[in-house]
Amino acid sequence: MSKGNELKPRIGFFGRRNVGKSTMINFLTGQQVAIVSDTAGTTTDPVRKSMEIGGIGPVVLVDTAGIDDEGELGALRVEKSMAALAEVDLALLLYTEGSYGEPEERVERWCSEHGTPMLKVRTKGEPIDKEGLIAKIRDALPESAYRGRSLLGDVVAQGDTVVLVTPIDSSAPEGRMILPQVQVLRDLMDLHAVAVFCQPEELEVESGKWKVESPRLVITDSQAFERVAAVVPEEVPLTSFSVVLARQKGLFEEYLSGTRKIGALKDGDRVLLLESCTHNVTCEDIGRVKLPAALKKATGKDLQFDILAGNDAIPNSSFLISNYSLVIQCGGCVISAQQVKARLLGALEAGVPVSNYGLALAWCNGIFDRATRIFHTNFHELTIN
């Protein structure tokens, strides 16, 4: 799936085998995008298809296996279908007359407990009004799923100068900026602020004078926190691209609380690092090289690290969440807020502290309070239409 699809709102179709989930997706899209068969269990794993909904824009439809599947393999399919609930912004629960029972109640209960909006749709009865159903989907889908909240609109105003420090090293992509930097730049343009790009060496003090006059904020790549913090005057707010993204993804308070637990780590504790994209790993890689080294140095402890890349939920078999003392998620620039929450759901429910790459590096560099200070009193919801 493309990065563009990862950021689209997701609508999941759930129900028993042969209830008409794939047929419904074909009906809504007006295309034969999902395989339809009278054979029960045709859909075995969640399948994702894109479509456009007027008034919302592009969305991803998630077709799932039957929630009543049987046998050892069937139980695994049901498990995957239930896991897909965590990644969707709206669940459509399909059922037929006289067949609403424990499987449907399990989905309904999950949605109720986790605050996921749900629509019940009865199939194989009276003909369904397509436009009427799309209207109900449009009303039920949370606006936050398709209207992006400004990254910095509550702390940056029109005309403010924001310095963006972007180190260029072997981990930087050839000939382009990384996605978090592009996202922040676009947000600043929407806010009509002034963005100044530079590398760390361009920030150096010249003749004892700070080079940039009265910036509202300095945002740096997390790996340059220590160097940049030493140059930027204490009175100038400083944070990182990863911290900015972490705040937008909706788990900021959990990240703040979890990051403070780093100081309690002990020798032998295991830390799980979650990457949401695949990329070329270098000797300067933040998640696989610099962050583990920084955590060991800052804590003085012999810590053990595991890396899990990609967007799937944490598997129970090889990465049992209770074995970890801390889970650290990357900035999540290529996935939605709902997907970030889905990946961390198991850790949060198990009481395992969660943090973010940028916040963890800020803590390791002794500037955690400074990197989050600007957001404490100004944080509120703001959308850009």
Question: Which CATH number covers residue 342?
Answer: 3.40.50.11410
Is 85 in a helix, a strand, or coil? helix
On whether both 175 and 266 belong to a single domain, the answer is no
On whether both 227 and 171 belong to a single domain, the answer is yes
| Residue 112 Cα distances to 136, 204, 212, 269, 321, angstroms | 18, 53, 51, 35, 24
Q: What is the pLDDT of residue 125?
A: 78
Q: What is the distance between the alpha carbons of residues 303 and 325, in angstroms, rounded to a whole number?
A: 10
Domain of 101 in residue numbering reads as 3-145
On whether both 57 and 113 belong to a single domain, the answer is yes
Question: Which CATH number covers residue 173?
Answer: 3.40.50.11420
Q: What is the pLDDT of residue 312?
A: 59
Last residue of a domain, one of 244, 267, 301: 244
Q: What is the pLDDT of residue 6?
A: 54
Does 151 map to a domain?
Answer: no
On whether both 50 and 114 belong to a single domain, the answer is yes
Q: What is the pLDDT of residue 372?
A: 94
Count how many domains the chain has: 3
Q: What is the pLDDT of residue 380?
A: 41
Q: What is the pLDDT of residue 3?
A: 39
Last residue of a domain, one of 197, 213, 244: 244
Q: What is the pLDDT of residue 316?
A: 57
pTM given for the model: 0.72
Q: What is the pLDDT of residue 126?
A: 82
Q: What is the distance between the alpha carbons of residues 243 and 240, in angstroms, rounded to a whole number?
A: 5
Q: What is the pLDDT of residue 264?
A: 96
Q: pLDDT below 50 — which residues of the chain?
A: 1-5, 206-208, 280-283, 378-385
Q: What is the pLDDT of residue 317?
A: 52
Is 315 in a helix, a strand, or coil? coil
Q: What is the pLDDT of residue 33?
A: 59
Does 58 map to a domain?
Answer: yes
Phi-psi region of 4 (alpha: psi -120 to 50; beta: other; left: phi over 0): alpha
